Structure 1
């Protein structure tokens, strides 16, 4: 077996299950899960109808490259959403449909890393982070290099503190904007800075933007990496790729539908890799994806529902728990008055609410784990459940203060 498999840590939810198994929650309180980022809003009915109408496509093999109609729809969406130069996206060269961003992010690292350089290649990643970034690095034969996302830098890595030696060894930089778990959004200035660094040190920027459509201000949606390219006239999107998904945007995690877009010279060999990888999206899913990417009304409704939940939960928690509204996304990244693992375990034991300890999605570097003494709370449950959870969390925190 590949010895790098031994370097993979248990997934955060395995650790969480072990933590919860040591206590017994109250049976009289219904369980509320705020631990996993699985959208609970209703999936669009017209997407379900499209799936139903195209089940005869089960008899056809899909192509890895994707239906021309889907690629064209994605290209049009990217151009509208991120104000790209008209015609700069060639759907057949700049877009590849994928089975959700998770599989694409993981497989992209396998194709992007050059093991022959002899200089121990690095994949630079935020910390805390989506654990796929770390696993992708190990299985690609690279080392993850973690950049802490701290409150004093608005949860954006301090890229100025990264040495030239690290950038020179970097072959792939993972970004996550809006961030998981912090909700922090990269601004254009920072993205321009990173593009310049990619040019100077010859690395690829891979921006995970699967939360980009969950934001609060309709007039100021989060900036994307391709948008930053367009702002500086970089219409070939050189060294830049983005990952998008319908899971959060359209409440379709079970559809497993997303795409990668950007530098055509990078996507061409990645497409070749994928033809061997055997990961073509089913045709009926592609047709349903066309319907989803073509409609914004359901996405606006989705944002409205999250706004209502953030407003209600933050009003209830008030000053009892140190937490604030993120830039975007659907997570709260709350400070805990006790250790994050104790907080999560005792909250489950007393209130039957599950949250994710921050240390489980961070790594300790130079004695610091940026996730310690924080918990991630996903406001994915219905509004009434989120309100009930907030009230029970408030009650729990008050018992800690009294103690």
Structure 2
């Protein structure tokens, strides 16, 4: 009755977490540090913008985004990456980056690559939508370790030329969720050269690109432009959820070559839900305004430093370069998560829930992911409990 390709999917991370924890009483006041839902204040003027345009809820919005929104995105990409895009052919608004990451597979992955079933490569650990997008179009997801041994970024060249020749797309997240590392220019250059040699597209999930410690992450579009790479080679995804602390706004964008965006627009015309016009008006202003982003980044920088202070002594501790998570080493992530919950009420996520078992091993087994999204004092209390419970 149901498609066979969906019959053996693992449960999504958060239902698994509820099944693990909710049958046990918390050992203290509940502190949610499992999900990356930003808790910093969003700009207050956003509510006024939405209210001022509330009458536009009575209109059908354009699928691809208003000309004004696409122009604001073009201007931001130019300021941030020194890349000039055509807003009419190279940009499309999204209901958050997850929609685009999924639909990119639907629109762009071919039915066959070099006469065989196509492969989609992705890091392990990974954001589950990458896998589901591949499976939905009948492609084979392949999981490439992103571990301490590889600098917590996947070494896609390690899969070998026979796999790369079947590869239609590569998903890569930078800054990485959950590890908080950034792909540097050399990494992007190597990956782009690999994509050129073996003819696949790079799906660059850059939704955390505006949350970093000191140096802004290099962007995939930026390096591709500098290398003179075909614009169709890179598809870049961004979101206001993290940049502007507005996960409920469900607003982001995808940028890429004209043919890529045309294919994604065609799919969206049939199967997508455009952003309501008041949300698009608010998004225009958010992409154009940087003060709130700078302030938000300073809040995260203070929490990075606090995490280093509290947990820097832990063997294998990974000081985050960017993003909103800690990737903390433990003997067994699931056991540590349960123990922490029962002892303190702090709720984190086992690393194995973000990873795939490959050849009997799971690269997330020995980790927990901790979201540092709450205000400073709440985060400090939670991290202190984690330190005193798991690392003393």
Structure-2-length-normalised TM-score: 0.96
Matched with 1:194 is: 191
Question: Do 1:244 and 1:260's aligned partners in 2 also have CA atoms closer than 8 Å?
Answer: yes
Q: Does 1:256 align with 2:257?
A: no
CA contact (8 A) 1:8 1:138 kept: no
Alignment of 1:9-20 (within 5 A): 9-20=10-21
Q: Supply the distance in 1 between the matched residues of 2:182 and 2:154 (Cα, whole angstroms).
A: 11
Alignment match of 1:109 (pick from 87, 105, 111): 105
Give the whole-Å Cα distance in 2 for the aligned partners of 1:7 and 1:297: 46
1:309 aligned onto 2:309: no
Q: Trace 1:326-341 onto structure 2 (pairs within 5 A).
A: 326-336=320-330, 338-341=331-334
2:148 matches 1:151:
yes
**Correspondence for 1:47:** 46
Q: Tell me how large the CA RMSD over aligned residues is.
A: 1.4
Q: Is the contact between residue 95 and residue 273 of structure 2 (CA under 8 Å) also seen in structure 1?
A: yes
Shift of residue 137, structure 1, vs aligned partner: 1.0
Q: In the alignment, which residue of structure 1 is the partner of 2:386?
A: 393
Aligned residue for 1:134? 131
Measure the CA separation in 2 of the matches of 1:157 and 1:69: 37
Match of 1:266 among 260, 263, 279: 260
**Paired position in structure 2 for 1:122:** 119
For residues 190 and 320 of structure 1, do their structure 2 counterparts lie closer, same or farther at Cα, with a shift above 3 Å needed?
A: closer
SS of structure 1 residue aligned to 2:176: coil
Deviation at 1:183, TM superposition (A): 1.1
> Could you state the TM-score of these two structures normalised by the residue count of structure 1?
0.94
Any conservation in 1 of the 2:108–2:263 contact (CA below 8 Å)? no
Q: Residue 321 and residue 254 in structure 1: after superposition, are their counterparts in 2 closer, same or farther (change >3 A)?
A: farther
1:165 partnered with 2:162: yes
SS at 1:115 equivalent: coil
Contact 2:355 2:362 in 1 (8 A): yes
d(CA) in 1 for partners of 2:127, 2:157: 23
Q: Find the counterpart in structure 2 of residue 179 from structure 1.
A: 176
Displacement after TM superposition at 1:321 (Å): 6.4
The question of 1:224 aligning with 2:219 is answered: yes
**Aligned 1:335-374 pairs, distance under 5 A:** 335-336=329-330, 338-374=331-367
* Distance in 2 between residues matched to 1:289 and 1:67, nearest whole Å: 10
1:10 Cα deviation after fit:
1.1
Q: Unaligned 5+ residue runs, structure 2?
A: none
SS in 1 for 2:387: helix
Query: Runs of 5+ in structure 1 lacking a partner?
Result: none
How far the C-alpha of 1:159 sits from its partner, in A, is 2.7
- In structure 1, distance between residues paired with 2:322 and 2:226: 22
User: Contact (CA 8 Å) 1:320, 1:397: kept in 2 or not?
Assistant: no
Q: Distance in 1 between matches of 2:316 and 2:385?
A: 16
Q: 1:58 maps to which residue?
A: 57
Residue matched to 1:378:
371
Give the SS at the match of 1:259: strand
The answer as to 2:95 corresponding to 1:94 is: no
For residues 329 and 355 of structure 2, the distance between their equivalents in structure 1, rounded to whole angstroms, comes to: 14
8 Å Cα contact 1:344-1:355 kept in structure 2: yes
